[in-house]
Amino acid sequence: MSNRYISFDTETTGLDFNKGDRVVEIGAVEILGRNKTGELYQTYLNPDGKEMSEGAAEITNITNEQLKAAPKFKDIVNEFIEFVKGAELIIHNAEFDIGFINHELKLANHEVKDIREICTVFDTLIHARKTFPGQRNNLNALSMRLGISGYDRTYHGALLDAQILADTYLNLTGGQVTFDLSEEPKTEVKEEIVNQREDIDFINFAADKDDIKEHEKFLDILSKKTNKEVNW
């Protein structure tokens, strides 16, 4: 097993590559053993005419005009592959980023069809849910719970989030962790809500397992891209 890890994140024009959304920034931070080496990989990407969605532009502060001069994925794909090859990718909600990167590899007609052919993947979201069941586990909430500080979080950025994730991963897998008991539901509030609901008639709709799974995946994506826990 490799002792080289790459903390990895992307920013995208929107939430669904199947609807034409593209990667607009890649950020990666190298870790050897338990130490960040200072080696970074970052690039903005021209999304081939796909414009930033309003929500993506708001949280990243990336503009369509800014991306016009950026390289296209096909122009940087080999240097990106070279940087991550053989490492274990550390990703928060890996399914989202892996899906987008694999889509970019497909559009570039690259010989690597799935990034997992050359890397293993560690999903910190899955690990965090096992460590902190029932608590908020988006990257912002998780990193703050673990005492990760010193970063300007005004806007999202792939490299910024990869740096925060690197610290979070090292703490989560080897450092001291604490449980935030302030996130426990308040009994008084719960009782008040129950009392208010006594006079309301409810219609129950049952969702099947596939519907629930797809909905949970969608909520994970929203949480990842907004750094806010979405539970509805």
Cα dihedral 65→66→67→71 (10° resolution) = 130
The active-site residue, picked from 110, 127, 156, 215, is 156
Confidence of residue 134 (pLDDT cuts 50, 70, 90): very high
Rounded to an integer, what distance in angstroms lies between the CA atom of residue 23 and that of residue 107?
Answer: 12
pLDDT at 153: 87
The pair of three-digit structure tokens given for residue 67, joined into one six-digit string: 């991306």
pLDDT at 199: 45
Question: Hey, which residues does 25 pair with through a beta bridge?
Answer: 11, 44
pLDDT at 220: 61
**Residue the block writes with tokens 């999202």:** 156
Q: What is the DSSP letter of 206?
A: P
- For 55-97, what is each residue's pLDDT tens digit? 999 999 999 999 999 999 999 999 999 999 999 999 999 999 9
Find, among 114, 45, 118, the residue nearest to 84 by Cα.
118
pLDDT at 85: 98
**Residue 156 known to be catalytic:** yes
- For 176-221, what is each residue's pLDDT tens digit? 444 444 444 333 333 333 343 344 343 444 445 454 445 455 556 6
- For 1-37, what is each residue's pLDDT tens digit? 579 999 999 999 999 999 999 999 999 999 999 999 9
Rounded to an integer, what distance in angstroms lies between the CA atom of residue 95 and that of residue 120?
Answer: 13
Rounded to an integer, what distance in angstroms lies between the CA atom of residue 206 and that of residue 59?
Answer: 34
- Predicted TM-score (pTM) of the model is 0.78
Which domains are present in the chain? Answer: 4-181+209-226 (3.30.420.10)
- For 141-183, what is each residue's pLDDT tens digit? 999 999 999 999 899 899 999 999 999 999 999 854 444 444 4
Listing DSSP states for 9-64 in one string gives EEEESSS-GGGT--EEEEEEEEEETTEEEEEEEEEE---TTPPPPHHHHHHH---H
C-alpha distance from residue 174 to each of 32, 35, 41, 90 (Å): 14, 12, 24, 14
What's the length of the chain?
A: 232
